[in-house]
């Protein structure tokens, strides 16, 4: 599903070149759950941003489900993301002025979906994520764990094939973090491909495979014992 070859991302100033990614070859199969680990500044988030079409690589190629998306223009990247990729962030990234319902509905509005279908999908996903009783609340009225449930609801409401999660439990206590990881694991078991950046060994244990980055390069890959 995901295939990068010799992927590079270079940040240049007049004085210096910094390689955020250096010749990264990475393959992720449909239905896999992959964790990406490594110290701060090793290129994890840069790699996730390129896979999520939020950024373009400097060199190398990136194919998504057989389509070369390496050099798409901004407008085309935005179009391609719709319905294909869902995002879950450490900071939740909910819109404070919108209710829980309206936050989750947003991706469906971008897809120009009919109102009746939007209502069905939003109601269904909020019930499934056990947050349906908070439909009319606003993000600030929710706990961190509830906000992340809303964020996951928003990520999956359009049924994307791929979810990208950047430190999804980073702002949560261990109990709520475990709930979020169990939700992501359930989604994966139902066929959603998940790529997750994490510092947590516990969270990485939910993945089928862990990729370790250092200085913008893949230095090690491990198949997790529970999934081999």
The whole-angstrom separation of Cα 215 and Cα 83 is 32
User: Which pLDDT does position 225 carry in this prediction?
Assistant: 75
Q: How does residue 120 score in pLDDT terms, banded at 50, 70 and 90?
A: very high
Residues making up the chain, counted from first to last = 228
pLDDT of residue 208: 97
User: What count of Cα atoms within 13 Å lies in the side-chain half-sphere of residue 196?
Assistant: 32
Please report the DSSP string for 55-117 in residue order.
S--SEEEEEETTEE-TT--HHHHHHHHTTTEEEEETT----TTS-HHHHHHHHHHHTT--HHH
pLDDT digits (tens, 9 = 90+) for 74-106: 899 999 998 899 999 999 999 999 999 999 999
Backbone dihedral region for residue 93 (phi beyond 0: left; psi -120 to 50: alpha; all else: beta): left
Lowest mean pLDDT among 193-197, 198-202, 224-228: 224-228
Model confidence at 207, in pLDDT bands (50, 70, 90)? very high
Task: Kindly indicate the confidence band of residue 226, based on its pLDDT and cuts at 50, 70 and 90.
Answer: confident
**CA 8 → CA 157, 163, 165, 169, 204, distances in Å?**
32, 22, 21, 28, 25
Over its C-alpha atoms, the chain yields an Rg (Å, rounded) of 18
**Buried b / exposed e along 205-226 (16+ C-beta atoms within 10 A):** ebbbbbbbbeebbbeeeeeeee
Does 111 have pLDDT greater than 70?
yes
pLDDT digits (tens, 9 = 90+) for 23-38: 999 999 999 999 999 9
Q: What is the pLDDT of residue 224?
A: 86
Q: What is the pTM assigned to this prediction?
A: 0.93
pLDDT tens string 2-22? 999 999 999 998 889 999 999
pLDDT range class, residue 228, cuts 50, 70, 90: low
> Where residue 227 falls among pLDDT bands split at 50, 70, 90?
low
Main-chain dihedrals φ then ψ at residue 193, nearest 5 degrees:
-75, 135
Cβ–Cβ < 8 Å for 166, 194: no
Q: Which residues contact 10 (CB under 8 A, 6 or more apart)?
A: 17, 18, 19, 20, 58, 59
Q: For the chain, give the mean pLDDT.
A: 94
37-64 pLDDT, tens per residue? 999 999 999 999 999 999 999 999 999 9
């Amino acid at each position: 599903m995901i295939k990068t070859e010799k992927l590079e991302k270079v940040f240049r100033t007049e004085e210096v070149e910094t390689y955020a990614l250096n010749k990264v070859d990475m393959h992720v199969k449909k239905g896999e759950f992959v964790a990406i680990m490594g110290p701060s500044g090793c290129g994890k988030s840069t790699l996730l941003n390129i896979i999520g079409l939020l950024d373009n690589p400097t060199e190398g190629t990136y194919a998504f489900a057989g389509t070369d998306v390496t050099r798409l223009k901004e407008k085309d990247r935005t179009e391609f993301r719709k319905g294909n990729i869902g995002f879950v962030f450490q900071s939740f990234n909910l819109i404070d002025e919108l209710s829980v319902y309206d936050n989750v509905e947003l991706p469906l509005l971008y897809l120009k979906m009919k109102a009746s279908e939007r209502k069905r999908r939003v109601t269904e996903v909020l019930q499934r994520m056990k947050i349906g009783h908070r439909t009319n609340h606003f993000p600030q009225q929710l706990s961190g764990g509830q906000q992340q449930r809303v964020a996951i609801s928003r990520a999956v409401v359009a049924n994307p094939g791929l979810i990208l999660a950047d430190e999804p439990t980073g702002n949560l206590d261990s109990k709520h973090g475990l709930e979020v990881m169990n939700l992501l694991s359930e989604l994966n078991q139902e066929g959603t491909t998940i790529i997750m950046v994490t510092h947590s060994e516990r969270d990485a244990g939910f993945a089928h495979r862990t990729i370790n980055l250092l200085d913008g390069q893949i230095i090690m890959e491990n198949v997790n014992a529970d999934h081999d």
